[in-house]
Structure 1
Amino acid sequence: MHALLYLEFQKLDRKSPYFDREKKNELLVRWLKPKLKSNKYKAIRKQLKTMSLQAKKSQVDLEDVLLTAVEAKPEALQPHLDSYLLLIREIEKKLGTTALLSTPEDVDLSHDENGCLLCVLSNDLNAHFGTKNQLVADISILFRGTVREKHLFLGTIYANEIFGYQIQYEDETSFVSL
């Protein structure tokens, strides 16, 4: 990131927003060279050295390589869809039940009347997730159960660090909608 900032400031100083690949590589290699000896960059020293050598031989556009590295970092996160499915599976396991998927209009509130009801409310679960499986729209969950089950359910939701929650409805008969 610092190398890219250095390059941008060089472009501003020269009042030329465009450099050819050779000039960009030269500037970036000059900036990276002292970093190769620094203990701060010890963990990535080999990668820096390889990039510098390739840039000197004009085999790669070092700016593009660095931009790709900066942009690739967030994608190391687990997709929200996978995390959501793991959360539902964890709730199912703790409650000893199976989650239902239903449209809000068609929920069968009489399902297992004396037991636990866990229902994900959605017309299409996939529509809540974008092309990279990141959450793009809120998903509601309807829960009905004993006080003990309610505490297990909410405890699992509260412990999850990936998704936020908001209780939309709660009554004395242990109906909870998130």
Structure 2
Amino acid sequence: MFNSPYHALLSDAVDNALLHLYSEVSASTRFFPTIKRNEILVRYLKPKLKSPKYKLVKAELKIMIGIGRNPEGNLEAKLIELNQLANKNRQNTTDAHSLFQLMELLDAEHNFDSKLFNPDIISVADVIYILPEHIEHCFADDGKQVAPVSLFIESDRTTELLLAIDNSELFTTELKEWNEQKKQAHILLHPIKAEKNTR
């Protein structure tokens, strides 16, 4: 069921909306109450109403935007609920969704927080930084990864991070650059879906 174009499109919209929200929130030190989070999500979803790509799920997008505009609504909670429902039912997740899953896993099980890289903010050790343009350009409209995603980290736990990512079976890693003195690493994430699908 979740492999149909309709469900793939709906999952894509939900995953990318949550990624966008958490990217904006992580790039700031401010507290974001529900009403502000709703505004960020509505701003992200609204242009998709006019996109031919999202024609199949236009009605659902309108409902989401309606929840976000309701003073009592909590669009983030609704999107998380949809995300979890899709997780339980679909067999093939998109690569964009896998990135979201990976960041959650690394934070919850290995204490590696993740943030969008901002040159104006001082980097913190043991935090994974992702380039904002990579979230936008490394994934196609259907959520499939089309280019390696770069991760940057300053940590003496880099080997642990590489193992954690490889063991997640969501992506494979490539240590692109390593500065031993500064303990800084540039890691590339490659998709593994193609390998799985050929078996």
TM-score, length of structure 2 as denominator length: 0.42
Q: Which fold has the larger relative contact order, with Cα–Cα distance below 8 Å and residues 6 or more apart in sequence?
A: 2
Higher strand share: 2
TM-score, length of structure 1 as denominator length: 0.47
